[in-house]
Amino acid sequence: MSDVKIVKIETGFLSGKLSEDQQVRMFFGVPYAKPPVGDLRWRAPQPAEPWEGVRDARFRGNVDMHRRPSMKSFYGKEFDQMEYPRSEDCLYLNIWAPKEVSETEKYPIALYFHGGDSHMNKAIFDGEGFAQNGVIMIGVGFRCGVFAGLCHPTLSKEAEEECGCYTSGNYGLLDQIAAVNWAIRNAEAFGGDPERVSVFGQSAGATAVQRLISTPLLKGKLFGAVMQSAGGMDPRYMAVESTIEKSEAYVLEKFQQLGIFSIEEARKVPAETLLDVFSAGPDENMAYLSPKPDGYSLLYSPDETGYRGAWLDEVHVMIGTTKHEGFAFSYPNTTEESFKNFVKHSYGDQWEKYWEAVQVSGDEVARHVRRQDSGDIKMATCYSWVQRQNELGKPAPYVYMFTKEAPGEEGVGAFHSGEHAYVFQAMDKVAWRKYNDSDRFLSMVMSTYWANFFKTGNPNGEGLPVWETTTDFKNDPWVMELGYRLGMVRPPQTKVSDFIKDFVLGFYENR
């Protein structure tokens, strides 16, 4: 067809729109699976239905069912300038592709997976900059929380009949896998290269990426992976790891409280009710509502897969953190006693070593250390993962540390998620922050690194500071600083981060 805004995918024709500069094609609200509602609640994603005629793809679809952050909160103000309808019917894609399509030159594809308390429609997750850099970007909507991770004996038996494996609760992961496979199958419709499909994500989205490079269902299919501010090997996940059977027992108890005694009844419960009942604390969610090893979609937990180094010979990897991961979070109710209990829960019989390293005395110090602790954990879990891959002789990853402090008076530094505006070239999407020319220059550099990585598996390119792989983190640690300086630097290492790294690496070694 001569109209570049119309493409044909496996389920029918799509009609999108062009960006303001007329150089990027955009297709929003594209279904990659049937709506997981009614009898499809808590089932693996099913193929999308074909349609007649041309589907209007100018408007974004629903976002997943999640708790909206307050617009007055730090992250509400930062990223939630617009609200979108929430629904279990959320398996949609937003696609940005270069306008020009060549018969000989195919574009790489990068699928983005958002973090927790987030959704794919946030303005900051804008793929226009990537498309201008010669990369097709796809923002992925997927099930979260109780709709993604509920385990139940009936569901496990249903799956056993369908896939030959007793499993339930990995529905969000299966959504993400389905989106990757959709991108591979439909790549050429947008001028894309099915041999260069990469995944990237931040925070919980980075943990999703780690699972995607861990699942046997995608073995040999992924070109690259970028894990921003998560992934690695995290002691918090290790401390609360659950099993399908334990998660089933947890759900049965919750259902009993609701007076629900069958999955048929549960599938009729309003989504908001389920969201209320299963909006537990982070430990419970990590333990009972996160994907679990089942012998089908995951052979091991992502942490253990990282420790084993499973099939990382086949995937190019970039991984990193921000310098001040915990500075945007506040812990007003933290006391010395509550923080000590948190430490005991996280580090078991080694908690005293951590406590000695942090030197907490009093509630105020406990709140300060708790804030800093979040960043120490992110860095240490990232670096322990890198060190382990080095020890196993796996291909050396590209490792970064984002250090550019956010403009503004909050004193949040290079906060968790602060790199979004730079990676996506989306500073105008956070209009209240006074970004300057140095910020825009850094954004140009970072977005080019990311685009180059999706194209070749190597972020380097003409005119850019050289980014070396990290080949021996234990004895000769180097990371790429992305901030006021651009270049290879020694990463910060403290007694706390060294303890966490040793704890993480020793966890599986001693099991």
Residue 38: exposure state from Cβ atoms within 10 A (0-12, 13-18, ≥19):
exposed
Most confident of 305-319, 334-348, 456-470: 456-470
Q: What's the sign of the alpha-carbon dihedral 209, 213, 214, 220?
A: positive
What mean pLDDT comes out for the span 55-72?
A: 83
- Give per-residue pLDDT as tens, 97-139: 999 988 889 999 999 999 876 666 677 789 999 999 999 999 9
- Give per-residue pLDDT as tens, 444-466: 999 999 999 999 999 999 999 99
Q: Over 80: is that where the pLDDT of 77 sits?
A: no
Q: Which residue has the higher pLDDT, 371 or 395?
A: 395
Q: Which of 381, 358, 357 is nearest to 369 (CA)?
A: 358
Q: Which of 389, 385, 32, 327 is nearest to 179 (CA)?
A: 32
| 224-228/192-202 β-pairing | parallel
Half-sphere exposure of 320 (CA within 13 A, CB side): 28
Percentage above 70 pLDDT, the chain:
93
- Give per-residue pLDDT as tens, 32-61: 999 999 999 999 999 999 999 999 999 998
CA 212 – CA 231 distance, rounded (Å) = 11
Question: For residues 195 and 223, is the Cβ–Cβ distance under 8 A?
Answer: yes
| Cβ neighbours, 10 Å, residue 397 | 25
Output the six-digit token pair for 169.
């609760």
Strand partners, 366: none
- Give per-residue pLDDT as tens, 187-236: 999 999 999 999 999 998 999 999 999 999 999 999 999 999 988 887 66
CA 370 – CA 220 distance, rounded (Å) = 40
SS3 490: coil
Q: Which of 75, 80, 142 is nearest to 112 (CA)?
A: 142
Question: For residues 509 and 436, is the Cβ–Cβ distance under 8 A?
Answer: no
Residue count of the chain:
511
Q: Over 60: is that where the pLDDT of 1 sits?
A: no
**Catalytic site includes residue 203:** yes
55 membership: H or E segment, kind and range: strand 54-56
Confidence of residue 502 (pLDDT cuts 50, 70, 90): confident
For residue 277, which amino acid is it?
V
- When mean pLDDT is compared across 9-23, 61-75, 250-264, 423-437, the lowest value belongs to 61-75
Half-sphere exposure of 55 (CA within 13 A, CB side): 21
Residue-by-residue DSSP string for 205-222: HHHHHHHHTT-GGGTTT-
SS3 505: helix
Question: For residues 447 and 422, is the Cβ–Cβ distance under 8 A?
Answer: yes
Q: How far is CA 346 from CA 237, 355, 417, 459, in A?
A: 9, 12, 24, 35
- When mean pLDDT is compared across 147-151, 383-387, 409-413, the lowest value belongs to 409-413
CA 91 – CA 114 distance, rounded (Å) = 13
Block residue for tokens 């955009």: 26
Confidence of residue 403 (pLDDT cuts 50, 70, 90): very high
Strand partners, 12: 9
Q: Over 70: is that where the pLDDT of 70 sits?
A: no
Output the six-digit token pair for 85.
């309808």
DSSP 500: H
| Cβ neighbours, 10 Å, residue 365 | 14
pTM exceeds 0.85, yes or no: yes
Block residue for tokens 């799956």: 159
Active-site position among 203, 346, 447, 497: 203
CA 443 – CA 441 distance, rounded (Å) = 5
Q: Over 80: is that where the pLDDT of 317 sits?
A: yes
The pLDDT value recorded for residue 193 is 98
Q: Which of 5, 1, 4 is nearest to 16 (CA)?
A: 5
- Give per-residue pLDDT as tens, 249-265: 999 999 998 999 999 99
Confidence of residue 73 (pLDDT cuts 50, 70, 90): confident
Question: For residues 64 and 140, is the Cβ–Cβ distance under 8 A?
Answer: no
Mean pLDDT score across all residues of the chain: 89
Question: For residues 97 and 191, is the Cβ–Cβ distance under 8 A?
Answer: yes
Confidence of residue 86 (pLDDT cuts 50, 70, 90): confident
- Give per-residue pLDDT as tens, 13-25: 999 999 999 999 9
130 membership: H or E segment, kind and range: helix 128-132
Terminal CA-CA length for the chain: 59
